[in-house]
Chain A
């Protein structure tokens, strides 16, 4: 089988790779480029553990063929922090204990950052629906939602997200 030559940008770096025509972007990220932060939980687009951002759009990389990345920009969990400085979403996940096993965490963080890039002040309901394509089996989502709202507040330079204010 002839390999396809692909040029793209991964986390801002010019990247080229050879892949089988049927290879998924997730396969190439994990097995060819060694970026194992994106996880495969299902391979069918149902769990969101492989979430990456392709030209600004959130996608399940297991549902994208690797050759489709030609000429495009791919952002993965490995590019969310700036060097050793964590993104507020990452920092709030740690402070709020929004992970237990941590396997789904990269997908959630990529998805949550993409939400906050678009909507700096989401409601709890908006967060829950935006993240509805990401499965977490450990946390029951409570601390994840709080972490995302806290990260949003921090990015807006506020202190207390709406849902953690005392009930009226």
Chain B
């Protein structure tokens, strides 16, 4: 898209250049996780539990080890004995004991698909055959899948040492509730009692998967001297390093992780599943070992987003002013404690000014794969309930649903749910843009309805390292530690070129391995353009400063006598006044004027701001089949400032599509034996091109004053509003409120034909 640019004081910011890694990716040359092979490599395979909950009595690997071509076998016993240690990587915290046991079960399997043993062999076929020779004796235990069932007094316990965190006093006996989070203000019961109109409802959904198209894969090579290399795709190779080193109890600097291109993550590739297992197999065999998941393994064993039960009560006065909101939800955390409840609590109702609030979230363990971050983790579920309930409230009040939201929308300075004031947020601006958008007032056809919903996500900053170096010919290289999942190399090059005031093509950006750049947090939390961008801007500013110093030295002038102007250095006074020196001139003489020119910025970015979005969705419902088609969609979002406008729009459009899939099609389906019945893309139905309309992404720019170019995070916000926007559109089209996701043809048909 090459729409005319609006007048901006920038040369590069907000433009749409071709990404530097683009040609490799449209020609098939780019190497992704499953594409890498090392000389002498062995092929690994993993044996997984057929039971949702069982004690491992014994594992006999002798037959497998005897099979010709098998070079190594591993079980959970091969991990060192680990002490509990909570590490903050990815989007949330993990205990390394849980991480290790999730990679290979130790005493118990906690879900169908839980890894039990692994082999490495000279061919994939031999590896598969060897798995069949491993004998595992299980003591099968009762299992639990449902949220309320898992919280029942007599529920099977996943972990007998789990005492609910966040409850005082500490509970006197263990349970499947791993954590409880509560926030609020005022007096909720008095607030509701004083309301002129109240609504209440229960909203439910099963887990959904991130659905990245690239399955997890890695190659590991661990030498006898303790040093290792890992080639893998991930959202953060430094997290792969720190987690793998921790579960194997070895120094982080002994592992060098080489980042391969990543084929989508959406939060699901912020942890490790295969790397330490491949490491153990490599150490045992003395050869590099490849492990890769099949699609079925991805569904059964990598982390879905939690399903939920959400109870909501909201009250307003007769004028439509919200006076009380009570939200209580339970989220699946699966086999191990997860951390979506905290984000769910802070993402529930903070976009409105409400005097009396109570938001409570509980994480519930159950015999499902361990939940992992999925794009705005914890926010879409609770938002679905709150924004659906608000629509019901607007109907009771006889009020326009957009006006209800505008009337109550939080402004900068208003308190969040935590009590802290909002910073410079652009929520009202989004609502105003929606009201003025032609979509809002356009006519609808037969069987069509229009729904709206708003939502937000807190975003993040955090640690990033950037090395910006000047080549001898005056071109620039930006090295970051941030995997590029959606165009971040282009964004970094844009920001560096902006600071340096040079052509975009004069700056190239690479993703460096863990030995070649300093620590950087995962690409997640919508942090990369913000935080790694901030480091890029800082490094570029330092390089500009160094170039000025060098020019002054070469001229024999003082630093005060020179200035950076239009991508070169100008001498302002003295006998060289008016002369200019190009970067190429300075760089070519750098070896004799102080050495190579480069700058490192290693920072923990602060000053991030949340992003807000408001969506308008038109659906058409087929009354004969219950099929829902999204026929028009507009997503309005405060992006702070768009660095690469195409990739900002792309994030918004992609988040909307995932949200529509979540709303209409996607769900984990377990059978009565506790086994997943739809571990493939045929039965786990993600949106395809013919399901979708064009998605209009409207970028509102309320710049972040704490970022050099005004960036706010972009990627996660757009998955928050679609669930309710679609549900509200279906209500408008049919008069039926659907409280359970997905709103499949079967459910819509049943709502339209209650008589059966």
Contacts and interface: CB of A to CB of B under 8 A. Distances in A.
* A and B found bound together: yes
A73 interface: no
B485 A40 contact: no
B680 A102 contact: no
Contact of B18 (A49, A95, A141): A95
A135 to B, nearest CB: 6
A14 interface: no
Contact of A36 (B28, B646, B658): B28
Contact of B682 (A20, A39, A46, A134): A46
A152 interface: no
A100 B487 contact: yes
A54 interface: no
Interface string B4-41: 00000000000010110111011111111011000000
A28 to B, nearest CB: 13
Contact of B1 (A36, A102, A131, A146): A146
A37 to B, nearest CB: 2
Interface string B410-446: 0000000000000000000000000000000000000
B294 A127 contact: no
B152 interface: no
Given A101-B263, A134-B689, A93 B657 contact: no
A133 B688 contact: yes
Given A137-B266, A163-B694, A39 B214 contact: yes
A120 B213 CA distance: 29
A42 interface: yes
Contacts of B261: 101-103
B703 to A, nearest CB: 22
A102 B689 contact: no
A16 to B, nearest CB: 20
A130 B733 CA distance: 29
B94 to A, nearest CB: 24
Contact of A94 (B19, B647, B680): B19
A137 B213 contact: yes
A80 interface: yes
A111 B660 CA distance: 24
A37 B647 contact: no
B654 A138 contact: yes
Contacts of B34: 36, 39-40
Task: Tell me the dominant secondary structure on chain B's binding face.
Answer: loop
Interface string A5-21: 00000000000000010
Interface residues of B, number: 60
Contacts of B2: 95
B27 A90 contact: yes
Interface in A2-54: 20, 30, 35-44, 46-47, 49
Interface string B640-653: 00001011011101
A142 B263 contact: no
A30 B263 CA distance: 16
B690 interface: yes
A74 interface: no
B262 interface: yes
A138 to B, nearest CB: 5
A110 B493 CA distance: 29
Contacts of B212: 101, 103, 137
Given A97-B16, A138-B486, A104 B213 contact: yes
A77 B486 CA distance: 21
A105 B26 contact: yes
Contacts, number: 191
Contact of B35 (A36, A93, A104, A138): A36
A61 interface: no
Count chain B CB atoms within 10 A of each CB in A47, A80, A144, A146 and give the residue with the most: A47
Contacts of A40: 34, 215
A124 B690 CA distance: 10
A148 B751 CA distance: 39
Given A20-B125, A135-B688, A44 B295 contact: yes
B654 A139 contact: yes
Given A41-B214, A42-B681, A78-B28, A101 B262 contact: yes
B245 interface: no
Interface string A102-145: 11111001000000000000001101110111111111111111
A141 B657 contact: yes
Given A86-B26, A90-B26, A146-B1, A43 B650 contact: no
Contacts of A138: 264, 485-486, 650, 654
A143 to B, nearest CB: 6
A116 B97 CA distance: 53
Nearest to B683: A46
Interface string B673-684: 000000011100
A156 B16 CA distance: 25
A115 to B, nearest CB: 11
B343 interface: no
Given A137-B654, A140-B653, A127 B689 contact: yes
B18 A94 contact: yes
A37 B653 contact: no
B525 interface: no
Contacts of B27: 37, 77-78, 80-81, 86, 90
Nearest to A38: B28
28 contacts: A35-B28, A36-B28, A39-B32, A39-B34, A39-B213, A41-B213, A42-B681, A44-B681, A47-B681, A86-B23, A90-B27, A95-B2, A96-B646, A100-B651, A103-B32, A103-B263, A104-B263, A105-B25, A106-B26, A129-B689, A131-B690, A135-B213, A137-B264, A137-B686, A139-B650, A139-B654, A141-B692, A146-B694
The 9 lowest CB-CB distance pairs between A and B, nearest first, are: A37-B28, A103-B263, A140-B657, A102-B25, A97-B646, A46-B681, A140-B653, A77-B28, A100-B486
Interface of A: 20, 30, 35-44, 46-47, 49, 76-78, 80-81, 86, 90, 93-97, 99-106, 109, 124-125, 127-129, 131-146, 163-164
Given A46-B680, A164-B1, 10 more contacts: A44-B295, A94-B22, A101-B213, A101-B264, A103-B212, A132-B689, A132-B690, A137-B654, A138-B486, A145-B689
